[in-house]
C-alpha cells in the first residue's frame, strides 16, 4: 500500500518506522523547515505533498499527524481519499479550549470553570478580580507557557502572566485548578464508532524527576489498554461524545486529559490527533499490522485490534538542549550534526523499541546523527506485566544509547506505583 504522511513537526514519526517495516511504500512531507532534514536516509521525502496525491491515489492511505490540517482532511475525504488523523472539528476541540469545554457540557460531562482571554493583560485583570488557584494554558498544543498555580490568591499566576507580557501576544485560557490524579483516556474513532481498546495513560510533562521544573512537550508516559467498554473513566468521558465525533467525522486517535479525584472525573483538554510519545507506546503494545488498522480507521470500518493484553507500557523521552525551549534563543548553540552512539550491539527487538524523531542517517557513512534543532531526539519504549517490569524493559535499553549532552527522566511510572494506583483504587476507578 502507498502511504503519504503530511507532518507538521514529526509527531507521527513512530508510525512511519512501523509502516516501512511492514513493507508499505511511504513518502513523508515535513512542514517545519527546521525539521526537514530529520529522518533523511530512513524514509523517502517529498517537498510538495499535493503533487503526491496522484501517486498515493484513492486506494492508498494519507496520514496527517497534526491539528493544523483538519479542514484539508475533510476536503480530501470528500474527494474520495482515505485519510486518517482527525478532522476540522477535531482541531477545534484541541485548539479552542473554551469550545471544547462547551462541547463537554452539552454532552452531560462535568467541567471546571474556565475562560478564554484575547490577551495576557485581560487574563491578569480577571485573576485580580477573581483571586483563586488557576491554570494558565495556551490555545495551542504547544505548552511552553502553561503553568499550574498554587497560590489561593492567584499571586503566582499573576506573576507568571506579567512575565509573559513582553514575549507572548496570543490568547490565554484560564482553568480552575483541581487536585487529584491526572489521567488521559483515549481511543481511536473511525467517523462512526470506536475502533480498538480504551487507552489509559499517565503523562510526565515536567522536565525533571519528581515533576519539578518547566513543562515540556512530554518526558515520558505510562500506558495500558483496557478492552472493557464499561471502563468507568471511559464511560464518564469519551463514551458520551460519540454523537459529536460522528457529527464532525473524526477519524483518528482522540484523548481527553482529566483530573480524577474522590468527587469524580474532571476533563481538562483534548488531544485530537496522534500524540507523542503515546503513539510510540502504541507501537510497543500493538501486535496487529499498523497498515491494516489505520486503513480501517480511515475507511470507517470495524477492526479487531490485537495487542499485548495485560501489559503495561512505558516510554521515555531522550532529549538534548535547547529542549524544552524553542531554538530561536539558542542560535549560537546547536546540537545538530551530533552523532548517536550505541554502547553495545542491539538486537532487532531492541532496535524496534527505539523511535527516532529528530534523527537522520548519514548517506555515506551510515551513522545516525541529530538532524533537528528542537532537541527531541528519540523515544525508548518497554512493556511488561507490571509497571516495574515495563520500566526495567525501557531503562535497560536506554543505558545502551549514548547521545552527547542528552538527558531524560529516570522516574517514569514511579508516581503511579508509589501513589496514584492506590488512590485510583480507593476512589473506585481501577
CATH number at residue 366: 3.30.470.20
Do residues 200 and 331 share a domain? yes
Give the Cα separation of 344 and 404 in Å (integer): 16
Residues 221 and 306 in one domain: yes
Per-residue pLDDT of 99-108, as tens digits, reads 999 999 999 9
Rounded average pLDDT over 267-284: 96
Position 323 pLDDT exceeds 90: no
Residue 408 pLDDT more than 80? yes
pLDDT of residue 44: 98
pLDDT at 139: 78
Please tell me the least confidently modeled range out of 14-28, 177-191, 328-342, 374-388: 328-342
Share of the chain above pLDDT 90, in %: 91
Residues 311 and 209 occupy one common structural domain: yes
Last residue of a domain, one of 127, 160, 176: 176
Which pLDDT score is estimated for 329? 63
State yes or no: pLDDT of 244 exceeds 70.
Answer: yes
What pLDDT does 76 receive?
Answer: 99
> What is the structure's pLDDT at 326?
77
Q: How far, CA to CA in Å, does 246 sit from each of 75, 98, 199, 260, 376?
A: 16, 20, 20, 27, 34
* Residue 28 and residue 171 in one domain: no
CATH label of the domain that carries residue 133 = 3.30.1490.20
Cα-Cα-Cα-Cα dihedral of 193, 196, 201, 205, to 10°?
-70
Q: Which residues contact 271 (CB under 8 A, 6 or more apart)?
A: 94, 141, 184, 186, 253, 254, 255, 256, 257
- Domain hosting 290: range is 89-110+179-430
226 and 122 within one domain: no
| Higher per-residue pLDDT: 325 or 255 | 255
Tell me which of 53, 88, 123 is where a domain ends: 88
Residues 190 and 310 in one domain: yes
Between 168 and 305, name the one with better pLDDT.
305
- What per-residue confidence (pLDDT) applies to 142? 64
Q: Given a cut of 90, is residue 331 above it in pLDDT?
A: no
Residue 50, class by beta-carbon neighbours within 10 Å (0-12 exposed, 13-18 middle, 19+ buried)?
Answer: exposed
pLDDT at 141 over 80: no
In whole angstroms, how far apart are CA 259 and each of 147, 172, 179, 219, 398? 15, 20, 7, 19, 30
State mean pLDDT over 84-110.
97
- Which stretch of DSSP H or E encloses residue 212? strand 212-215
Q: Which pLDDT score is estimated for 333?
A: 67
Q: Do 126 and 250 lie in a common domain?
A: no
Same-domain status, 94 and 222 = yes
Least confident residue range of 177-181, 213-217, 411-415, 419-423: 213-217
User: Is residue 386 predicted with pLDDT exceeding 90?
Assistant: yes
Start-to-end CA distance of the chain, whole Å, equals 40
Q: Is the pLDDT of residue 154 over 70?
A: yes
- Domain check: are 75 and 117 in the same one? no
The CATH code of the domain that includes 16 is 3.40.50.720
Higher pLDDT, 325 or 233: 233
Average pLDDT over residues 198-214: 96
**How many folded domains does the chain comprise?**
3
CA–CA separation, 271 vs 86, rounded Å?
A: 10
| Domain identity same for 421 and 325 | yes
User: What are the backbone angles phi and psi of residue 65, rounded to the nearest 5°?
Assistant: -110, 15
* DSSP 8-state symbol, 307: B
107 burial class (0-12, 13-18, 19+ CB within 10 angstroms)? middle
Give the domain-ending residue among 153, 176, 199: 176
Same domain, 80 and 97: no
Instruction: Identify the weakest region by mean pLDDT among 49-53, 184-188, 327-331.
Output: 327-331
Q: Is the pTM of this model over 0.85?
A: yes
Same domain as 310, residue 198: yes
Average pLDDT over residues 32-49: 96
Amino acid at each position: 500500500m502507498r502511504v503519504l504522511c503530511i507532518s507538521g513537526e514529526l509527531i507521527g514519526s513512530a508510525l512511519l518506522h512501523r509502516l516501512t517495516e511492514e513493507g508499505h511504500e511511504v513518502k513523508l512531507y515535513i512542514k517545519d523547515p527546521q525539521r526537514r532534514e530529520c529522518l533523511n536516509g530512513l524514509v523517502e521525502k517529498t517537498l510538495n505533498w499535493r503533487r503526491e496525491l496522484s501517486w498515493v491515489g484513492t486506494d492508498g492511505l494519507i496520514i496527517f499527524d497534526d491539528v493544523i490540517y483538519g479542514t484539508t482532511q475533510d476536503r480530501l475525504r470528500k474527494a474520495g481519499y482515505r485519510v486518517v488523523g482527525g478532522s476540522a472539528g477535531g482541531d477545534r476541540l484541541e485548539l479552542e479550549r473554551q469550545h471544547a469545554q462547551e462541547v463537554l457540557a452539552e454532552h452531560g460531562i462535568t467541567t471546571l470553570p474556565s475562560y478564554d482571554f484575547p490577551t495576557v493583560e485581560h487574563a491578569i485583570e480577571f485573576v485580580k478580580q477573581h483571586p483563586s488557584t488557576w491554570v494558565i494554558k495556551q490555545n495551542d498544543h504547544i505548552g511552553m507557557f502553561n503553568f499550574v498555580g498554587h497560590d489561593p490568591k492567584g499571586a503566582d499566576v499573576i506573576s507568571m502572566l506579567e512575565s509573559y507580557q513582553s514575549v507572548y501576544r496570543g490568547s490565554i485560557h484560564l482553568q480552575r485548578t483541581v487536585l487529584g490524579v491526572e489521567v488521559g483516556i483515549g481511543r481511536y474513532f473511525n467517523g462512526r464508532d470506536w475502533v480498538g481498546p480504551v487507552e489509559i495513560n499517565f503523562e510526565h510533562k515536567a522536565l525533571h524527576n519528581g515533576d519539578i521544573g518547566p513543562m515540556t512537550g512530554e518526558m515520558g508516559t505510562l500506558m495500558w489498554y483496557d478492552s472493557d467498554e464499561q471502563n468507568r473513566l471511559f464511560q464518564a468521558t469519551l463514551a458520551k461524545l460519540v454523537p459529536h465525533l460522528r457529527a464532525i467525522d473524526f477519524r483518528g486517535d482522540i484523548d481527553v486529559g482529566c483530573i480524577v479525584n474522590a468527587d469524580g472525573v474532571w476533563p481538562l483538554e483534548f488531544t485530537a490527533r496522534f500524540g507523542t510519545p503515546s503513539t510510540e507506546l502504541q507501537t510497543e503494545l500493538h501486535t496487529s499490522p499498523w497498515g491494516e488498522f489505520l486503513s480501517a480507521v480511515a475507511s470507517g470500518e470495524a477492526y479487531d485490534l490485537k495487542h499485548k493484553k495485560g501489559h503495561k507500557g512505558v516510554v521515555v523521552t531522550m532529549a538534548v538542549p535547547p529542549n524544552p525551549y524553542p531554538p530561536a534563543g539558542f542560535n549560537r548553540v546547536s546540537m545538530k550534526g551530533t552523532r548517536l552512539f550505541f554502547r553495545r550491539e542491539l538486537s532487532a527487538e531492541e532496535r524496534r523499541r527505539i523511535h527516532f524523531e529528530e534523527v537522520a542517517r548519514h548517506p555515506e557513512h551510515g551513522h545516525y546523527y541529530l538532524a533537528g534543532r528542537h532537541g527531541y531526539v528519540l523515544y525508548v519504549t518497554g512493556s511488561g506485566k507490571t509497571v516495574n517490569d515495563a520500566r526495567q524493559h525501557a531503562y535497560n535499553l536506554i543505558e545502551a544509547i549514548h547521545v552527547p549532552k542528552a538527558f531524560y527522566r529516570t522516574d517514569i511510572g514511579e508516581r503511579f506505583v508509589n501513589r496514584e494506583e492506590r488512590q485510583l483504587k480507593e476512589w473506585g476507578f481501577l
